[in-house]
Structure 1
Amino acid sequence: MRTATADKKRIGRKGIPKELIYEMRYGKPIYYRDYDKVLSGEKTLEEIVGSSKLQWWIIDMIVRFLHQILDYKKYVVAYNEAGFQWASRTWRNLDVAIFEREKILKEGVNERYAKTPPEVVIEIDTKADLRKYGDFMNYAREKTQDLLDAGVKRVIWYTTFDKKVMVAERGERWFITSWDEEVEIIDGISFNLGAKLKEEGIG
């Protein structure tokens, strides 16, 4: 009869399936939150990779807003965990990313992750396992700095647990404020998440 300890050893020998890797940072995997519960059979893969209703609603609102106001001759919007790879064995998932259209077309539209840095990245919470980071902010700071170092001009991070927004821009002061404040996204276009949620009868 196989014991739980034996199962853990078996999993350790075989390694963790790549489907449970959320992001990769210089060869070191960042796993999905609760990946170990999938290994133990407590949860399914679908349960840990899915977004909450609030998360996907916010993403949908932001994308709809950008579709209405953005110059699509100049930009293109990627979402649904768009992959961005800027170094060997290094990639991050992006909730919403605004790319310069010409640069992406020059790179080529194919089945690979984008190597061209987005102009702007917008994140809502995270699906990453945070235990090795201690808390969300340590992870968010690391990912934000990685993106800025890779050439992203602005990173905007909304957090649903405290209704805040963090804005980081290369060469500028990072700041955190209420998500009820106007935040510039790109080219003078501002977005007020709190106001938009109230318009839709949420929050």
Structure 2
Amino acid sequence: MIASLRPGFDIPENALEESIPTSLIREIIDGKPYYFKGYPEVLAGNKDAEGVMGCSTLQAFIVTFLVRVLLRSIDENQYFIATNEPGLHIDRKNNLVSDFMVFDYNILTIDQINLNYAQVPPAMCIEVDTRVELQDATESEYVTLKTMKLLEFGVAKVLWFFTETKKVMIATPGSWTTFDWNHEVVLMPGALCNIGQYLRRKGSKYA
């Protein structure tokens, strides 16, 4: 997944740093590039680019569980679950990526499903951990900024699952809530999940 080759991935010239390949950009917010977590290891020659673009098995395990919960519950004639880190092109200075998004077919119509990033808001964005290198911002600042951008664009709900703190953050316009992931989470009407409970049932030490 190379940023410079992603159709619809618009990179403002003033966002580029000549010493860092554009292939290491995960997303751009307000014209500022956010690079894949671990990218300094690539620049140092200790890893190849693909080595920092993937997710951990725990992150993949949780994402797969969440997608499966949604697939059992939503109307597939109304909603499209976009996986494989779909991109969202808000404007020239904002190209965002989530672990997966849920689109309403009334908003993302079939003629808009093409080789580019989506340019309409999904009903929901879900993230498992932050996947960017944070050097001049805290994780909280980054999460807040990205979540605000998504909500301002028209996303109805943004969910973050944090594996290190075992927390869930749910943001909707006018309401932001953070709680322990051992509580039931409503993804969408009829789609409920409890990450902590699921991991315990599977025997994971990360429950």
Q: TM over 0.5, yes or no?
A: yes
**Structure 1 Cα separation of the partners of residues 68 and 197 of structure 2:** 15
Which residue type is aligned with residue 184 of structure 1?
Answer: V
1:37 aligns with 2:13: no
1:69-148 counterparts in 2 under 5 A?
A: 69-106=73-110, 108-133=112-137, 135-148=138-151
User: How far 1:107 sits from its partner (Å)?
Assistant: 5.0
What is the aligned counterpart of 1:179 among 168, 178, 181? 181
Matched residue SS, 1:24: strand
**Over aligned residues, Cα RMSD in angstroms?**
1.7
Report the TM-score when normalising by structure 2.
0.86
Matched residue SS, 2:164: coil
Equivalent residue, structure 2, for 1:155: 158
Question: Relative to structure 1, is the Cα distance of residues 107 and 149 closer, same or farther in structure 2, using a 3 angstrom cutoff?
Answer: farther
Task: State which drifts further: 154-163 or 103-112.
Answer: 103-112
Stretches of structure 1 that go unaligned for 5 or more consecutive residues are 1-11
Stretches of structure 2 that go unaligned for 5 or more consecutive residues are 1-15
What is the aligned counterpart of 1:200 among 193, 202, 205? 202
| Conservation of the 8 A alpha-carbon contact between 2:168 and 2:180 | yes
Flag the structure with higher helix content.
Answer: 1
Matched residue SS, 1:77: strand
Aligned length: 190
User: How far 1:171 sits from its partner (Å)?
Assistant: 2.0
| Conservation of the 8 A alpha-carbon contact between 1:26 and 1:87 | no
1:2-53 superposed Cα distances (whole Å, 9 cap, x missing partner):
xxxxxxxxxx984321111010113221111221221120221111111111
**Structure 1 Cα separation of the partners of residues 111 and 146 of structure 2:** 23
Which residue type is aligned with residue 170 of structure 1?
Answer: P
**Structure 2 Cα separation of the partners of residues 51 and 13 of structure 1:** 25
**Structure 2 Cα separation of the partners of residues 35 and 153 of structure 1:** 32
1:93-120 superposed Cα distances (whole Å, 9 cap, x missing partner):
1112111023212552111001110111
Larger radius of gyration: 1
